[in-house]
Chain A
Amino acid sequence: MDDTQRRIDAAPLPVARELRRRRNLILQFLRFVRLNWTMYRLARHHH
Chain B
Amino acid sequence: MSRVVILGAGVSGHTAALFLKRRLGRDHEIVVVSPNSQWNWIPSNIWVGVGKMSPDRVVFPLAPIYRRKKIDFRQARAVALRPEGDADNPQGAVDVVYTDPKRVGRTERIRYDYLINATGPKLNFAATPGLGPDAGNTVSVCTPSHAVDAAEHLAAVIDKLKAGEPQTLVIGVGHGTCTCEGAAFEYAFNVEHELRAAGVRDRAEVIYLTNEHELGDFGVGGMTFSQAGRRITSEAWMESLFRERKMKAITQAAVTEIEPGLIHYRQIDGSANTQRFDFAMLLPPFRGVGLEVFDRGGAEITDTVFAPNGFIRVDANYQAKPFEEWTAADWPKTYQNPSYRNVFGIGIAFAPPHAISRPYATPDGIAIAPAPPRTGMPSGSMGKVVAMTIADMILRGAAEPTHTASMGEMAAACIASTGTGMRSGTAAAMSMSPIVPDYSRYPDTSGRDPKETTGNIGLAAHWVKRMLHTMFIYKAKAYPLWYLIPE
Contacts and interface: CB of A to CB of B under 8 A. Distances in A.
B397 interface: no
Contact of B460 (A9, A29, A43): A29
Given A4-B250, A5-B249, A21-B458, A38 B410 contact: no
Interface in B450-479: 452, 454, 456-461, 463-464, 467
Interface of B: 214-215, 236, 239-240, 242-244, 247-253, 267-269, 271, 273, 377, 381, 384, 405, 409-413, 426, 429, 431, 433-434, 452, 454, 456-461, 463-464, 467, 486-487
A46 B253 CA distance: 34
B94 to A, nearest CB: 28
A26 to B, nearest CB: 11
Interface of A: 1-2, 4-5, 7-9, 11-14, 21-23, 25, 28-29, 31-32, 35-36, 38-40, 42-47
A2 B410 CA distance: 32
Nearest to A3: B251
Contacts of A36: 464, 467
B244 to A, nearest CB: 6
Given A28-B459, A39-B413, A47-B405, A13 B487 contact: no
Nearest to A42: B411
Given A14-B244, A22-B459, 20 more contacts: A1-B267, A2-B253, A4-B214, A8-B239, A11-B243, A13-B244, A14-B240, A22-B426, A23-B458, A25-B459, A31-B460, A32-B460, A39-B413, A40-B486, A45-B411, A46-B409, A46-B411, A47-B377, A47-B410, A47-B486
A38 B251 contact: no
Given A2-B268, A4-B214, A43-B377, A12 B240 contact: yes
A2 B242 CA distance: 16
Contacts of A4: 214-215, 239, 249-252
B243 A2 contact: no
Given A9-B243, A12-B240, A47-B381, A2 B460 contact: no
Contacts of B460: 28-29, 31-32, 35
Contacts, number: 101
B412 A31 contact: no
- Nearest first, the 7 closest Cβ-Cβ pairs linking A and B are A43-B486, A46-B411, A31-B460, A11-B239, A22-B458, A32-B460, A28-B460
A8 to B, nearest CB: 5
A45 B239 CA distance: 32
Contacts of B433: 42, 46
A33 B223 CA distance: 23
B251 A2 contact: yes
Nearest to A22: B458
Contacts of A14: 240, 244
B348 to A, nearest CB: 18
Nearest to B457: A22
Nearest to A11: B239
A38 to B, nearest CB: 6
